[in-house]
Structure 1
Amino acid sequence: MHMSVRSRLAAVIGWFVLVAALLGTAAAPVRAAVPQTASSDVPPGVTAGIAIYDRQTGTFSEQLNPHLQFRAASVVKLLIALDHVWNRGPDYNLPADDRSRLDAMLRSSDDAAASHYWSQNGGSAIVGRMVSRLGLTDTAGPPAGYPGYWGYTALSAADTVRIYRYILDSAPAPVRDLVMDNLRQSTRCGTDGFDQRFGIPASFERPWAVKQGWSGFGSSGDCSNTTAARTTAADVDLTQRALHSTGTVGTGDRSIVAVFTLQPQSTSFGAAYTNLNRLVRSLNVPGGIHPAGTWFGTWGSGVRVRAGTTTTSTVLTQLPAGVEVLISCQERGQEVEVPPYRNDWWAYLPLYGGYITNIYVRSPDNKLPNVPTC
């Protein structure tokens, strides 16, 4: 059978394309496509931006929407701190009150400290300087009309990894130690009363270091007896709540973890907390070790975590309403009655270092299944 002129021409063109492709592959480096996370458990209705960077191999183990911009909430405090100590000289000495303010901002996510530096150092100009210094590509200051709202700074998971890489690998040792030592000592409660033990610290054994972010929850995230609330105007995206977990995991800060989420405006702090925990637990984080235990849902608000298995034991904290908790063991203690329920079993929560009565754990039996006795 004879080939038509068109068929012969197509065959010749196809041969040249194949040769060119083979030569191009041999001559030019191959740029790997940005992997989209296959293993992650992104809950319905949640928008996530994820970047997990393995410092040991110099590769990303997970990425999902890494360049998607989120309002940074308190994660921007990393940039505020770095800008304040930039070019401080060889000894980087800080006045005692300045150091105390930085410690509170990084360790306990103190908003007053962030606002102090934001006002003192030029507001959005801080972001502009750090974008230039660190080569950030997805970061921008708050939108027009919100110049004082540092938490509305736009930030992505990819840029957050870049920030941590600078801190760990390029920053002067006093700056690295200032930031990372504080993040390793992250307090369980922020100064505004919100529980900071979501995401990374809930999902991995130490060592870890974290800078968390949350916005739009009013006063519903209290983890202690305080009623302080995060004060904001309208959210940047106008509709959703932000909950982010960033930092490092593993010996030698092996993995840099940046997980940003936007969740529906109707999502409670406890539900958002649980969504983020499930997502972070599903990720491939080299060097990360998951704590032993079983995750259970809870019900009720203001559930107290106590030092012992009685209602007279010292109150350590209280749980965000409806949050999922890790339980490592259980033991009998004082019987508690919340009509129509009665229960004398208590669950130990390793994340909080205390007990809650099993009456508030979502399980059909008083004694939790597959949970050992303490």
Structure 2
Amino acid sequence: MRKLSGIFLVGLCLGATGAVVITAGHSSAAAPRQTAVSEVVATTSETPTPTAAPKTEAPASSATPTAKTAPGPAGVEAGTLDGIMRDGTASAVVFDTESGKTTVSVRPDRGYTSASIVKLLIALSVLDQGGPVADVQRMLSRSDDDLASRFWSSYGGPAIVTRWATKLGLTGTRPPADPGRWGDTRITAADIVKVYRYLLDRKSTAITNALRDATERGSDGFRQYFGIPDAAKGQDWLVKQGWSCCRPTRMLHTSGVVGHVIVVVLTEHPAKVDYVTGSKRVTEIVSKLLG
């Protein structure tokens, strides 16, 4: 396992965040029993493809906000993402914690089904109420669905989402239509950047340490090093990933911190695009964002 290579660098005075310099860990993961949430994958290959009927999720809204684009260091804009995706839709936001500025903003307010990204809000709720730190960290680093379901039931369910949306000013985040399906929470890239800014500003080390130690495979066997981990090899990073399929589309999300920048990429693919192909596309987008 790669160990923490640095510490929180600087507390920002811009009312935003501090930055962290961290790396990830590696471990094997056993497939969990099925849960009534949104992530499901095969466990038999390095780049898995589902072998059983996947769990479903609520489809994305048909009303997609107009793309807002702030060219980044590599000139990343909507056309760049669309060229990589070819079909489906991607949103990306990059926030520089040193300058306090957003350097890339493509479709920041477009809504997506969260998959496991909502575990960040679940973790905040559990820790805020004095819940078990070790289990929270396991839920995050291994993306453990069973623990997430247990916490969701015990610490407020949909109220977890509404509470933190209000507290952090998350304008595009809302609870799932089915209150039992935490993975169907609605999120936006702009809102997830706000969550990371809060974590860094508050120096929430219980959470950031878990994200630093994200295992290569989740508890369901899925290889969760697509996106930020694969694109930022050799750099310090922390991540929370999300994947789900298919009612009617496939979601693949990567979010986290690379050095002093927060990176969030949310993607929605037609179900015909498999996890392997979708993962490569997400990694290519992050590579463009990191320049």
- Does the TM-score normalized on the shorter chain lie above 0.5? yes
Partner of 2:217: 189
Equivalent of 1:43 in 69, 85, 110 = 85
Matches within 5 A, 1:1-374: 35=70, 37-38=76-77, 39-40=80-81, 41-86=83-128, 88=130, 98-143=132-177, 146-169=178-201, 171=202, 173=203, 176-204=204-232, 205-216=234-245, 235=246, 238-250=247-259, 254-284=260-290
Post-superposition shift, 1:159?
A: 0.2
The amino acid across from 1:161 in the alignment is: V
Say which SS state the counterpart of residue 148 (structure 1) adopts. Answer: coil
Coordinate RMSD, CA, aligned: 1.6
Post-superposition shift, 1:87?
A: 5.6
Higher relative contact order by CA 8 Å / sep ≥ 6: 1 or 2?
Answer: 2
Q: How many residues align?
A: 216
1:293-330 superposed Cα distances (whole Å, 9 cap, x missing partner): xxxxxxxxxxxxxxxxxxxxxxxxxxxxxxxxxxxxxx
Q: Tell me the distance in 2 between the aligned counterparts of 1:76 and 1:42.
A: 26
Post-superposition shift, 1:100?
A: 2.7
CA contact (8 A) 1:61 1:284 kept: no
CA contact (8 A) 2:69 2:104 kept: no
CA contact (8 A) 1:42 1:48 kept: no
Post-superposition shift, 1:247?
A: 0.3
Q: Tell me the distance in 2 between the aligned counterparts of 1:51 and 1:99.
A: 29
Q: Which has the higher strand share?
A: 1
Q: Tell me the distance in 2 between the aligned counterparts of 1:122 and 1:43.
A: 36
CA contact (8 A) 2:127 2:133 kept: no
Say which SS state the counterpart of residue 240 (structure 2) adopts. Answer: strand
CA contact (8 A) 1:47 1:262 kept: yes
Taking only the aligned residue pairs, the percentage that are identical comes to: 38
Q: Tell me the distance in 1 between the aligned counterparts of 2:242 and 2:119.
A: 9
Which protein is bigger by CA-based radius of gyration? 1
Q: Which runs of 5+ in 2 are unaligned?
A: 1-67
Q: Tell me the distance in 1 between the aligned counterparts of 2:133 and 2:123.
A: 10
Say which SS state the counterpart of residue 201 (structure 1) adopts. Answer: helix
The amino acid across from 1:35 in the alignment is: A
Say which SS state the counterpart of residue 112 (structure 1) adopts. Answer: helix
Q: Tell me the distance in 1 between the aligned counterparts of 2:69 and 2:231.
A: 25
Post-superposition shift, 1:206?
A: 2.7
Could you state the TM-score of these two structures normalised by the residue count of structure 1?
0.56
Q: Tell me the distance in 1 between the aligned counterparts of 2:241 and 2:164.
A: 19
Say which SS state the counterpart of residue 283 (structure 1) adopts. Answer: helix
1:164-215 superposed Cα distances (whole Å, 9 cap, x missing partner): 000101x2x4xx1001001000000000000011000000123100000000
Could you state the TM-score of these two structures normalised by the residue count of structure 2?
0.71
